[in-house]
Each structure stands twice: as structure tokens, then as C-alpha cells.
Amino acid sequence: MNKIRVSAVSYTNTKPFAYGLKHAGAFLDKIELSYDIPSDCATKLINNQVDIGLVPVAALLNIPNYEIVSDYCIGSVGAVNSVFIFSDKPAEEIRSVRLDKQSRTSNNLAKVLLKNYWKVQVKFVEDGTADAFVEIGDRTFGKTDKYPFVYDMGEEWMKFTGLPFAFAVWASNKPLDKNFIKEFNEVLKFGVEHRAEALKELEPRSDFDLEDYLLHKLDYPLTAEKRQAITKFHHLIESL
Ligand SMILES: C=C(O[C@@H]1C=C(C(=O)O)C=C[C@H]1O)C(=O)O
């Protein structure tokens, strides 16, 4: 049987899933696993270089016939503590934002929030200086006291919509074997349920609370409300 090609995110937020995969025994023979930055997970799934990815939800819009294959995601109920707009100015005064090349979801989330929540017209740039910038993942750890204005986009989305959020979901670009998907989900579930053990394998940091992040800020179940958030977010992206 051909191996199922899987692209997971190479950030700390994925350590519980990685823990599950590491302890998956014989199931590991069925997959070819890579760890990639989110923008590469998206590109690989769009270009059919993998069969399943932990893909930024914004990228689902570019995958015809995608299927969400798991009830787990990278999500939060309010603040997530690793998806930020760092700014020199209060949100209402921001006129230019530099996007994060590793992101697909949070770049779009910044656009959605600036337009619809803060109601400002902003120029978005890939490089160079700007009033503010989007940053995601481990690179944000320890930075929240380094900028005059700091917006956690999980928290701001919740204030805007009253909903939790899913930043990335496990999705396929083709229908896959039902039994495989069932086994894959059991592996992910094991990881999420053992995230306290996954935490013990991480190098402690003095500038960031990894325990609070993995056990409380990140919220892994892909609930009905998070699915509702994805639908709403997709509509908002389409009307940008
Ligand atoms: C919570 C996070 O969620 C993520 C944000 C993503 C994005 O902006 O495209 C994609 C995958 C996740 O890693 C994070 O990276 O910190």
C-alpha cells in the first residue's frame, strides 16, 4: 500500500499531535510524515505533494474538494498567546501592516479584523517597515512586553464574533480510506490527551509559560462552534 503523505506544523502548538504520532507504533508504517511551517503545509496540500495537512484554515479556500478529516485542530477559545499583531500604534491608528510569510490564516485574520472590527483601511506589505506586523508561532514567545501595543488575534476574534477560533485543521485533498482516518484520529486523540507528557519533553523557557500555552490557551477539539467560526471567517475573507 502506498504511504499516506502527511504534513504537520513544525511549531510547539503541534507537539501534542507529534507526541501521539511518535507513540503510534505500527500506524507509523502507513504514513510519510514531514514537519513544515504552516505556509508550506498549505502549499504542499494545494499542490498534491501530500495527502493530509495540518493546514491553515484560510488555505482551505484554495483546495477544491477538501475534507476535514479530524475532530482536532489548532484552536483557541479567546486568547491563544502565539498569534499577534505587534504594533507601535493603537489598532485604530494602524495604517500599514507587515504580514508573516509563514502564515496563511493569521494574515487573513489581521485583514478581517482591521477592516471589520477596528474599521481601518490598511496597506499590507510583505517586507520592510510598517506601523505594525503580524507574527505567529514560537517566534512570538517572550515578545509580548516588547511592543507598545499587542493584540492577541484569538482574543480579538472572540471579542468581534463571540466565537472560538480554529487556526489550522487536519484536512485531505482527496477522499481517504475510512479506517485509516479512524486510526489517524485515535493517534491524534492520544496525543491531545497526553499533552502534559508532551510538555515534559520541551525545553523550559523563562520568558514564556509553555504549560499554560499547551494545556490551557491552545484548545484542540474542533467543536461545532469552531466549525461555525471557520465558515464565518471564510465568508469574511471572500468579502475582503
Ligand atoms: C496558533 C497558531 O496557529 C497557527 C497559525 C497558522 C496561520 O496563521 O496560518 C497556521 C497554523 C498554526 O500554526 C500559531 O501558529 O501560533
Distance 138 CA to ligand 1 centre (A): 10
Among 14, 167, 226, name the best residue to mutate to test ligand 1's pocket (greatest count of ligand atoms within 8 A of Cβ): 167
Distance 223 CA to ligand 1 centre (A): 18
pLDDT of residue 32: 98
pLDDT of residue 74: 99
pLDDT of residue 101: 98
Same CATH fold assignment for domains 4-75+166-223 and 83-161: yes
pLDDT of residue 1: 67
95: helix, strand or coil: coil
pLDDT of residue 144: 98
Q: Which atom of ligand 1 is nearest to the CA of 83?
A: 16
Domain range 83-161, its CATH number among 3.40.190.10, 3.30.420.40, 3.60.40.10, 1.10.220.70: 3.40.190.10
Domain range 4-75+166-223, its CATH number among 3.40.190.10, 3.30.70.100, 3.90.25.10, 1.10.150.110: 3.40.190.10
Q: Which atom of ligand 1 is nearest to the CA of 104?
A: 9
Q: What share of the chain is helix, strand, coil (3-state, %, to 5)?
A: 45, 25, 30
Q: Which atom of ligand 1 is nearest to the CA of 103?
A: 9
**ipTM metric:** 0.97
Domain assignments of the chain as residue spans, ordered by start: 4-75+166-223, 83-161
List pocket residues of ligand 1, CB cut-off 6 Å.
Answer: 9, 11, 13, 38, 56, 74, 80, 82-83, 103-106, 136-137, 167-168
Handedness of CA 101, 105, 109, 112 (dihedral sign): positive
Q: Which atom of ligand 1 is nearest to the CA of 106?
A: 8
- Structural contact between residues 150 and 84, judged by C-beta atoms closer than 8 angstroms: yes
Question: Rounded to the nearest 10 degrees, what angle do helices 178-193 and 15-22 cross at?
Answer: 120
C-alpha–C-alpha distance, residues 83 and 153, integer Å:
6
161: helix, strand or coil: helix
- Structural contact between residues 122 and 97, judged by C-beta atoms closer than 8 angstroms: yes
Distance 4 CA to ligand 1 centre (A): 23
Nearest residue by C-alpha to atom 4 in ligand 1: 167
Cα separations in angstroms, 85 against 41, 110, 218: 22, 7, 18
Strand-pair partners of 87: 132, 149
Walking along the chain (240 residues) 10 residues at a time, the average pLDDT comes out as 94 98 98 98 98 98 97 98 98 98 98 98 98 98 98 99 99 98 98 98 97 98 98 98
